[in-house]
Amino acid sequence: MGLAVTILIDGLTYASWLFIVALGLTLVFGVLKILNIAHGSFYALGAYAAATFVGWVATMKWAPGWSLVAMLLAAIAIAVLIAPLTERGLLRFFYGHDEVLLVLVTYALFLCMEDITKLIWGANPYYVSEPYSLFGNVEIGNQIYVGYDFLLVVLAVVVGLAVWWALNRTRQGKIVTAVIHSPEIASSMGIQVSKVYMHAFGVGVFLAALGGAFTAPMISVQPGVSVGVIILSFAVVIIGGLGSIEGAAIGALIVGLARAFAVHVAPVAELFSIYVVMALVLMVRPEGLFQRIQARKI
């Protein structure tokens, strides 16, 4: 029983930050039809920016609670600076190309961002320990968990509900849905599609950076963090079905629980358990759990 609870809590914690990152990825794919490998780089930028901002808060000797605000501001700063530059300055030139070619464009961007990150922050690791101790420890059964982990779960629920509400209950959300279904018809109805693309991409970048910023206290922020995250996010959105919020949530839960199960029960399988799950899901549902089967065109 104790082991099951541990697996559940570890899996939930892991799934929560992964969901935030994967939500951005699935949103960008849903609207722009781009499977963005550079999404992992935006996650890394969020983590680095959070390390810098939290460092400033510590230098100015502000109350530790401000470090949470600093992490949020770091994610916003990355989205405001990077998203328009990437979408307007690079991606728009490739719209309409084959989706695999677009994946390669973002792969090229990913390679560039790896070095740009190193040039700005160097190769040494950063540690953002202050926010991690803010919420103390929580005792469940005989196990002690860090309170900060539960903050991530709450954050993931809030972010997921906010994005769902924005897409399904607001005028802007309906505009985005119209563009997802048909950019041409949306454009003929007076919607500025390029603006929708830029804003959707901005939200995607923000979610990646937010995921990076709030996981920074749990990891050592160093070159290479983006590589693992992007493949995990791919696994989540592929399992759930590309472009689906519910799919991203279920996918993140499956990945989180599979990893936690492997860590506690079969550590030797930790490295590849997620990919086994991904392969199994694709074998049963070739287009993910929440993807509608498309009719084949003659």
Partner 1 sequence: MHRSFTFLTWAAVLCTAALLALGLVLPKWLLFMCTMAFANGLVSLGIVLLMRGGVVAFGQGLMSAIGGYTAALLFQKMGITDAIVLTLIGGFTAAALTAPFAPLLSRYRGIFFSMLTLALSMVGYGILVKTERLGGSDGFNLGRVSVLGQALSDDWVGYVLYAVAVCFACLMSYLSRIYFDSTRGLITQAIRENELRVEYLGGSVRHTMALNFVLAAFMGGCGGALAVMALGHIDPNFSYWTTSGEFVFVAILAGTQSVIAIMLSSVILEAVRSFSSAYFPNTWQLALGLFLMFVIRFLPLGLGSLWSPKAHKEQA
97 touches partner 1 (CB under 8 A): yes
- Confirm if 134 and 64 have CB atoms less than 8 A apart: yes
Q: What H or E segment, with its residue span, contains residue 146? A: strand 143-146
- Confirm if 290 and 246 have CB atoms less than 8 A apart: yes
**Closer residue to partner 1 (CB): 179 or 242:** 242
63 touches partner 1 (CB under 8 A): no
* Cα distance between residue 188 and residue 176, in whole Å: 14
111 touches partner 1 (CB under 8 A): yes
In the complex, least distance from residue 186 CB atom to partner 1, rounded to whole angstroms = 23
**Closer residue to partner 1 (CB): 245 or 278:** 278
Tell which one of 85, 112, 154, 166 touches partner 1 (CB under 8 A).
Answer: 112
* Cα distance between residue 115 and residue 270, in whole Å: 29
Q: Report in angstroms the alpha-carbon separations of 130 from 66, 74, 149.
A: 10, 15, 14
Taking CB under 8 A as the binding criterion, the range among 68-76, 114-122, 208-216, 245-253 that sits at the site for partner 1 is: 114-122
Tell which one of 110, 201, 206, 290 touches partner 1 (CB under 8 A).
Answer: 110
Interface with partner 1 (CB under 8 A), residue total 45
* Cα distance between residue 66 and residue 64, in whole Å: 5
Q: Which tokens is 146 given?
A: 């860090």
135 touches partner 1 (CB under 8 A): no
Provide the b/e sequence for 208-237 (b: ≥16 CB within 10 Å): bbbbbbbbbbbbebbbebbeebbebbbbbb
* Cα distance between residue 191 and residue 111, in whole Å: 34
Read out DSSP for 187-235?
HHTT--HHHHHHHHHHHHHHHHHHHHHHHGGGS-B-TTHHHHHHHHHHH
- Confirm if 242 and 35 have CB atoms less than 8 A apart: yes
* Cα distance between residue 219 and residue 212, in whole Å: 10
Binding mask 263-282 for partner 1 (x = CB under 8 A): -----xx-xx--xx-xx--x
Tell which one of 88, 94, 146, 173 touches partner 1 (CB under 8 A).
Answer: 94
**Closer residue to partner 1 (CB): 105 or 245:** 105
109 touches partner 1 (CB under 8 A): yes
In the complex, least distance from residue 277 CB atom to partner 1, rounded to whole angstroms = 9
Residues 191-230 binding partner 1 (CB under 8 A) are 227
Rg from Cα positions in the chain? 19
99 touches partner 1 (CB under 8 A): yes
Tell which one of 12, 54, 70, 242 touches partner 1 (CB under 8 A).
Answer: 242
283 touches partner 1 (CB under 8 A): yes
Taking CB under 8 A as the binding criterion, the range among 12-20, 59-67, 181-189, 283-291 that sits at the site for partner 1 is: 283-291
90 touches partner 1 (CB under 8 A): yes
Residue numbers at the binding site for partner 1 (CB under 8 A): 35, 90, 93-94, 97, 99-101, 103-105, 107-116, 118-119, 227, 231, 234-235, 238, 242, 268-269, 271-272, 275-276, 278-279, 282-283, 286-288, 296-298
